[in-house]
Amino acid sequence: MKRTLTVSALLRDTIRPYSPPRRIPHLRLTGDWLAAAGFHSGSRIIVHVHAGQLIITPLQ
């Protein structure tokens, strides 16, 4: 199964006063396809971060 998603942005305040907010990458995963892949509501996951790749696995 393959899904195409878009990385959006969230705005976060900076520590310095009068500085514009920072744009932080944001990725939201939703859909019945998650349950079909074994990811159910309330389950915990591990995200392995590699260069250009995220690997999401259920926490055993």
Per-residue pLDDT tens digits for 15-58: 888 888 899 999 999 999 999 999 999 999 999 999 999 999 99
Q: What is the pLDDT of residue 3?
A: 87
Distance of alpha carbon 14 from the chain centroid: 21
The residues that bridge with 22 in the sheet, in sequence order, are 12
Q: Find the angle CA(10)-CA(12)-CA(14) to the nearest 5 degrees.
A: 155
The structure tokens listed for 13 are 């305040």
